Each structure stands twice: as structure tokens, then as C-alpha cells.
Structure 1
């Protein structure tokens, strides 16, 4: 941590004997307002809007221009004092209004609407867990039921397509 800013969000820290501490405190609060549970208009916009409204935020794209130059993939928020930026860090998430989904920053990029985890739990019950081994399509047998076989093949295809069993 530097003596002047916080480690993760780069918030300005108060210094002993510092004049006008309220300015630094207010700047830190403005940046926290942008960073905590952000809701953004969109993800990946490269040019700032022409008439931003105070309190509205965006996730900047990879080739920013204008007032956003040098702030690739950062959170950008307009305040009454101008643009404020928070650099993206792995694990950051923001609700994207235009997409109606969560955007997450990981491995140097924002992804929208992607959910990852190890299982899905509904009502306390695991309904989707780890991927299972491949299951072969039915073949052979002494009695062949074409309709049942077609149904089983369709079920297996759906499970493979959704990634629930290996191909």
C-alpha cells in the first residue's frame, strides 16, 4: 500500500497534517459509490456519452477514446466533478442494464451473462453437479424398439449439448 492510496481501489487516503481533508474524503466516497455493487448502462463502450448524468456508470471497452483514453476496461462513472474511474480487478462484477445480466472481470476481460461454478442448488438440492462420463448411444440388443432408441438418443444428445455429460 502506498502512503497516498488504498491497495485495491486506489482510494485517496488522509495524511496527517493534510490540508482540506474533506476533499480527499469526499473523493474516496465518490469512488466507493462507483465501485460498490455497481450498476452499469453497458459493457464495452469505447467512447464516453456526450451528455452523461451524474451517478450513471459504464464498463469501458478495450479501445477507449476521448475522456476515457487510457482507461481500458475500467468502471467509469460521471460525477458533478467529471469522470471517475476504477480499474478492473479479477472478481469484479457489475449489473449490466442493457444486457439484464451480471458482467464479471476475470483473466483480463469482462464477460456478460456467464455463470460459472461447481454445482447448481435449488431448494437445498443439487440439481446440476460435475460433468459425468460419456454414455454411448444404444446399440444391439435382442429386441429393438425404434421409438425408445430414438428418444434415448435425443436425451443423450441434449445432455451432451448442455455439457452435462462428455461427448
Structure 2
């Protein structure tokens, strides 16, 4: 039986009997892999009472049903664990960490970006720069100094200034 190149989804063959079986298997595989929500990536053994739809990233050294499956996505379908090898570029939300990971041969923390492009303008791509606060002078009054301080604090919160 033929499969798709990237995810190994079953393709229908001409004259194939019970095409619905292959089709349903492909739909289930898509359901497991699309918009990944991973419960955790630190459990070394499969949970004893999983819920259908639960998914985990198998850590190195895992045992039991997950033995020798490091970095795989372990999905529980109500009957057993299905282990799926991730492809480069796979993105998953890790529920117990409240963050994203990306598969690039291993699971990397966070988004692999060097900045953001908004309306064709690249921002947040450089290192934050230090901005000195106003410290006196006869023209800058108290309100202006407070406003400048607030702006600089906001830039620091956004990672734009130090």
C-alpha cells in the first residue's frame, strides 16, 4: 500500500477492497498530528489511566509501552498507544509547560525565530539597547520625566530596551 511522503498516511489504491479502512486510518493519523496538544514531555512511563486523545512526547530512556521511542509522539486512542515519529518543523503545545516546542531533529524549546516581521518591517530582531533615564535639567519637568520613565519601562517589558 502506498503512503504519503511526510506523514506516512495510507493512500487508496485503485480496486482496493474496504477503502474506508485506509481512509479512516489516514483521518485518525491526521487527527493525532494536527494542532498537537501534548500533555507532558517528562513522563518516563505511560500513565496507567490515560484518556482517549491524550498525547505525550516520549523522553529519552522511557520504559514500558514507550521503550525505545525517544522523541516520538505517543497518542492514546482508547485501546493502546500509537507512536508517531515527528517530522522536521512539527510544532506542539506542551500543556504542563504552557509553551511551544519545535521538532528540528530533537524537541527545541520555543519558537526558532530571530525576530518578527509585521507589515514588512522586522522588529525585535536585535539585542535590546540601554536607554538612559532623564536625570535633571531645567526644561524637563516632573510630568515629562514621569512619562519618559513610563515609556522606557514599557520598552523594557517588551524586550526592546534594557
Aligned length, in residue pairs: 134
2:47 pairs with 46, 49, 64, which one? Answer: 49
**Under a length normalisation based on structure 1, what TM-score does the superposition of the two structures give?**
0.67
**Under a length normalisation based on structure 2, what TM-score does the superposition of the two structures give?**
0.69
Question: What aligned pairs does 1:83-122 form with structure 2 within 5 A after superposition?
Answer: 83-106=81-104, 108-112=105-109, 114-120=110-116
Change (3 A) 1:15 1:122: closer
The residue aligned with 1:73 is 71
Asked if 1:5 is matched to 2:10, the reply is no
Contact 1:95 1:102 in 2 (8 A): yes
Q: After TM superposition, what 4+ stretches of structure 1 lie above 4 angstroms from structure 2? A: 121-127
Q: Which runs of 5+ in 2 are unaligned?
A: 131-155
Question: Shift of the alpha carbon at 1:85?
Answer: 2.3
What CA distance in whole angstroms lies between the structure 2 residues aligned with 1:8 and 1:127? Answer: 33
Q: Which runs of 5+ in 1 are unaligned?
A: 136-158
Change (3 A) 1:118 1:54: same
Aligned CA RMSD, in angstroms, stands at 3.0
Q: Deviations for 1:37-72, whole angstroms, at most 9, x for unmatched residues?
A: 110101243311111111111111122322222322
2:21 pairs with 20, 23, 26, which one? Answer: 23
